[in-house]
Structure 1
């Protein structure tokens, strides 16, 4: 990375898009620094970044496939645009004999946005779930939160096709020493999920994935515990009694501060509905 941008790496980020310094925007659009929050992601000039990243990884930034995609980005919601850029870059690389080198360059790019595009390539690859999970692990442990989110989204569709098989494959992940890996297994299998289609099997039968959650009920990482709590909160939309029973059992089996705080968060929707029910009875 050029020394000229080193001083930008420790920035806290502007409170509003309009307050992002021009120097930061230039570095973001040139693919020289990662974003620090959603405001910066939304402020990026996506066509400019895509062309710069294409050049930096050895692709033709003026290729018709990429140019056509960039020209139509405006018709898509902001987050959906990234999927189309990732697909265009994937298609360009697929024609190249050095596509593995290009994939590595994208996966190790200074820009978190570029690395997120690399994670999305796994969804386009047609890999079976065991191989897809092996490929996505590097993104699940990425230092940037945005790339870690894209990691589980990249294999979510495959999980939906075989939930029970996915649970078996993910069992070693929830015992991993890296909190990011443990959190990935939980977040990937959330029944409703975020910015993605629900897993119909787990909406109907959330207990099929309980063996993934059990080892995490008193996890030392708040990042992991919050994911598990959100998982159970998702499940409470369709099976509140099961979630209450599971949380009650956990409190008995694991009387720790970590489990107690997890359960409190997991039952937030259940308790809100109970409170509303009580009010209607008054």
Structure 2
């Protein structure tokens, strides 16, 4: 059983005074209090009956309508990871019809954020827009796989996992995972475990629909890289659901 969160700390989290340290703290936030703190007297709905991802999106949209994009953009440096996440979801709604390049330019600072939660909200917030122009998004994200920042490299793969977590599946990639090779191939020797895990999870997703394709790809990678340790770790994790 998870340890109880101190009431004073929960209140500070709910006012946006401090950053969360884990998922349990994020889930414990009183969104009604947080919305009132961010927009006093506005009476903005907290959408408390929604799941956390949907709640973040709806609250972010409400804040965009009430506060405007300029205020949300200023929250990119807010001390609260949840407030930064709300700003992101609001800006993502603003960019729903924007070109892929503009969407990626907007989300990049959030994808590189120092807090794990904001990095997760980053790909969740823009994934629907990226999926609508999947081929263009893959092409635009491919240069990110060579970025010096591991968080950016990880985002490039995590954002378009065929199944993913807390998100709608991408049928085109479930049917033809080879479409994702421009993102996967440059990262077969990825040195950081954080990004390795995203590559492995992408392939593990694909293995649930196209197991033979994943097996063949992993065999080729091991041969091409002379069984280098990063590739071995990626492929082992990629195949973990297959017998």
- Which TM bucket (shorter chain)? over 0.9
CA contact (8 A) 2:111 2:122 kept: yes
1:167 is matched with 138
CA contact (8 A) 1:17 1:39 kept: no
CA contact (8 A) 1:122 1:132 kept: no
Identify which range, 157-166 or 143-152, moves more after superposition: 157-166
Equivalent residues, number: 240
How large is the Cα RMSD of the aligned pairs? 1.4
Q: Equivalent residue of 2:241, what SS?
A: helix
2:57 is matched with 83
Which is bigger in relative contact order (C-alpha 8 A, separation at least 6)? 2
Give the alignment's TM-score, normalised by structure 1: 0.81
1:265 aligns with 2:237: yes
The higher radius of gyration belongs to 1
Q: Equivalent residue of 1:269, what SS?
A: coil
Q: CA deviation at 1:26?
A: 2.6
Q: CA deviation at 1:22?
A: 2.8
Deviations 1:111-156 (A, max 9, x none): 1000011111232113221100011000000001110011111211
1:103 is matched with 72
1:253 is matched with 224
Identify which range, 44-53 or 172-181, moves more after superposition: 44-53
Distance (whole Å) between structure 2 residues aligned to residue 143 and residue 76 of structure 1: 27
2:81 to 74, 95, 112: 112
In structure 2, the gaps of 5 or more residues are none
2:12 is matched with 27
Deviations 1:45-94 (A, max 9, x none): 1110121133xxxxxx2124x1xx23xx2432344222221111011123
2:128 is matched with 157
Q: Equivalent residue of 2:148, what SS?
A: coil
Q: Equivalent residue of 1:142, what SS?
A: coil
Q: CA deviation at 1:161?
A: 1.3
2:35 is matched with 50
2:41 is matched with 62
Q: Equivalent residue of 1:219, what SS?
A: coil
In structure 1, the gaps of 5 or more residues are 1-14, 55-60, 272-282
Distance (whole Å) between structure 1 residues aligned to residue 50 and residue 196 of structure 2: 34
CA contact (8 A) 1:82 1:117 kept: yes
Distance (whole Å) between structure 2 residues aligned to residue 261 and residue 120 of structure 1: 34
Identify which range, 179-188 or 209-218, moves more after superposition: 209-218
1:279 is matched with none
Q: Equivalent residue of 2:161, what SS?
A: coil
Deviations 1:247-280 (A, max 9, x none): 0000111121111111110001112xxxxxxxxx
1:191 to 162, 168, 172: 162
Distance (whole Å) between structure 2 residues aligned to residue 124 and residue 108 of structure 1: 19
Distance (whole Å) between structure 2 residues aligned to residue 26 and residue 33 of structure 1: 10
